Amino acid sequence: MNILLIGYGKMGQTIAGLAVGRGHAIVGIVDHAASGSRIADFTPAQVDVAIEFTHPEAAFGNVAACLRQGLPLVCGSTGWLHHLEEAEALVAETNGALFYASNYSVGVNLFFHFNEYIAAKMHQFAAGYDVQVREIHHVHKVDQPSGTALTAAQGILANFPAKTSWRNAPAQSPGELTILSERQGEVVGTHEVRYTSSADTIELRHEAHSREGFALGALLAAEWLPGRHGVFGMKELLGL
């Protein structure tokens, strides 16, 4: 498979190494540090799929450029979802393919699945519990809260009706879900959902030890996407 990498930071470099090990070819790199390469320089005849991990400010422009160029795209950038409806409209207009996940780790997506199940059960059976989300990342991470924390929060809001909105700070009303964001050293990514009552505490936690889990998930998505049309995510890939 021929892959175009958009963004060549730590994630892009990890993906490149794993891709070659899985028998794929990196046919181009579009990056602010690259020598003038642009998405428009590549066509579907050269590229089977593009993988994008950049910054919130650049992500939607890259998504739009790939769709207009006819390139199936796996996007891992977070912090741009206020443009998601525009992206979905562009997918329909171009009959394109967009795969988006706030986190590509298979383990994290099982975490999302269990989070929704636990939230529904806590609503059904457990009175007197409050819930909060905590995320810890390296000091270089730009967006806050993380896209993974937001996905976890959305899973709670959809299944635990006592919470109707979220705040990236301690909640100011019972209906708000607290998301606590911390930036520490070179932490790859830790996410916790904690239910607390006067009697006990129940905690669901995912701690990443390296970027390889994220990179492998992105490659699995890239291998799955070509030939499909529409907007997809990890639930479709994993059958969750």
**Hey, which residues are catalytic here?**
137, 141
Sign of the torsion formed by the C-alpha atoms of 112, 86, 78 and 70: positive
CA distance 26 to 104: 19
Cβ neighbours for 52, distance < 8 A, ≥ 6 positions apart: 6, 7, 59, 62, 63, 66, 73, 74, 75, 76, 77
CA distance 132 to 152: 10
Q: Is 128 helix (H, G, I), strand (E, B) or coil?
A: coil
CA distance 81 to 199: 38
CA distance 216 to 224: 12
Q: Is 163 exposed, middle or buried (CB count within 10 Å of its CB: 0-12, 13-18, 19+)?
A: buried
Best CA proximity match to 225, nearest among 65, 62, 4: 4
Cβ neighbours for 179, distance < 8 A, ≥ 6 positions apart: 132, 133, 134, 135, 145, 149, 150, 153, 166, 167, 168, 169
- Is residue 202 a contact partner of residue 195, using CB atoms and an 8 Å limit? yes
Greatest C-alpha distance within the chain: 62
